[in-house]
Amino acid sequence: MRLREFSLGLRQPLSTAKGDIDRREGILVAVEMGGTTGVGEATPLPGWTESLAECRDVLESVGDPQTALDDGTLDETPAARYAVSLALADATARAENRPLASTLATRSHTSLPVNATLGDAGVESTVEAAVDAVSTGFDCLKLKVGARSLDDDIDRLRAVRDAVGPDVSLRADANGAWDRWTADRFLDAVEPLNLEYLEQPLPAEELDGHAVLRRLHDTPLAIDESLAAVSPERAIASNAADVLVCKPMALGGPDRVLSVAERAHDVGVDVVVTTTIDAVVGRVGALHVAAAVPGERAHGLATASFLETDLAPDPAPVRDGSMQVPDSPGLGIDVADLLD
């Protein structure tokens, strides 16, 4: 297994209730399978995954990648596990001459709607970014909330709804910043704005609190941080959400996301796949995973534009609010572009 470290600056930081993300550092992984190379990416995000140091340590300890995946070596380090499982899946799909998505599901999407990701900012900048996103073709916007006063966030959402009109889908993501009382007040105030959903209003462990909010308000709820904090089985069983936000980097691989999606589907809960602001391999891997998940919701994969530079040309740029799933073998990324 070959490893290559990278460090990518962001064009603009992503401001959230839990602080700014302004650089992404990670490790590119390449595996050989009977003469075919597959690639994967570990871009840890502390708070969501192991640290870069822990990720590096475990990846450097891997001898045979399939063995490491099977014997539990990678179970506590989801970013490392994503990289290894993605590289093996990429190699398998390339060897079979099929796009990765088609090896993950019998029926997969060929194109997926995606949301624009709008970080925390003042009212004017938020409206400007929202109008700009809609003008480039997005019809779903996700706004970060919870980083400023509740009244300011409510003003931001009202101003965006006014500016973009009723046909654009709006999501708000509080990254666990609120308590029950604040979340209640927010949901009361935004009721007329017809949000598609509110994501992770309460801290990750508070599944019962989310379940109560979901019963008391009409706005649908999504959970994100909760899925990494408690087992996905418990998260689904707690009736805490209408939507599960699944990050392959934080859940530990395509197989992990697909198993969560299958359980969710059985109980009528939708899945939205997102990146952790990953480089091209992690991001396009997440796109293939999203393509293999049933459902029609927009995914949180339009994050390439946050990066100043990338590791290779992007085979799936956002066009008109959608991403086309590459139909060449594996991920659809030329490995020669990635490896020295």
Ligand X SMILES: O=C(O)CCC(=O)c1ccccc1C(=O)O
Nearer to Mg ion, 300 or 315 (CB): 300
Q: Was 179 annotated as part of a binding site?
A: no
Q: What angle do the packed helices 123-135 and 150-164 form, to 10 degrees?
A: 30
> Would you count residue 50 as binding ligand X (CB under 6 A)?
no
Q: Was 262 annotated as part of a binding site?
A: no
Nearer to ligand X, 94 or 247 (CB): 247
For residue 209, which phi and psi values (nearest 5 degrees)? -60, -45
Among 160, 213, 277, 318, binds ligand X (CB under 6 A): 277
C-alpha span between 245 and 222 (Å, rounded): 7
C-alpha span between 155 and 225 (Å, rounded): 25
| Count of residues of this chain found to bind ligand X when the rule CB under 6 A is applied | 15
> Would you count residue 270 as binding ligand X (CB under 6 A)?
no
Cβ distance 163 to 130 under 8 Å? yes
Q: Quick one: tokens of 169?
A: 């889908």
Give me the residues paired with residue 142 across strands: 117, 171
Single-letter residue type at 14: L
Residue nearest to ligand X (CB): 300
> Would you count residue 117 as binding ligand X (CB under 6 A)?
yes
Among 303, 304, 315, 335, binds ligand X (CB under 6 A): 303
Q: Is residue 18 annotated as a catalytic residue, yes or no?
A: no
Of 56, 109, 144, 148, the catalytic one is: 144
Q: How far is the CB of 228 from ligand X (least distance, A)?
A: 10
Q: Of Mg ion, ligand X, none, which one does residue 119 interact with (CB within 5 to 8 Å by kind)?
A: none
> Would you count residue 120 as binding Mg ion (CB under 5 A)?
no
Q: Is residue 142 annotated as a catalytic residue, yes or no?
A: no
Cβ distance 273 to 249 under 8 Å? no
Tell me 99's DSSP state: B
Give me the residues paired with residue 27 across strands: 5, 42
Helix (H) or strand (E) holding 227, with range, is helix 225-229
Q: Of ligand X, Mg ion, none, which one does residue 115 interact with (CB within 5 to 8 Å by kind)?
A: ligand X
> Would you count residue 85 as binding ligand X (CB under 6 A)?
no
Nearer to ligand X, 58 or 222 (CB): 222
Instruction: Give me the 167-186 binding string for Mg ion, x by CB under 5 A, dash otherwise.
Output: ------x-------------
Ordered alpha helix ranges (H), 248-340: 248-251, 254-266, 280-291, 335-338
Cβ distance 103 to 93 under 8 Å? yes
Cβ distance 84 to 55 under 8 Å? no
Q: How far is the CB of 200 from ligand X (least distance, A)?
A: 7
Q: Was 224 annotated as part of a binding site?
A: yes
Nearer to ligand X, 147 or 236 (CB): 147
Q: What angle do the packed helices 254-266 and 78-95 form, to 10 degrees?
A: 90
Binding site for Mg ion (CB under 5 A): 173, 199, 224
Interface positions with ligand X (CB under 6 A):
21, 45, 115, 117, 142, 173, 175, 224, 245, 274-277, 300, 303
Numbered residues of the known binding site for Mg(2+): 173, 199, 224
Active site residues: 144, 247
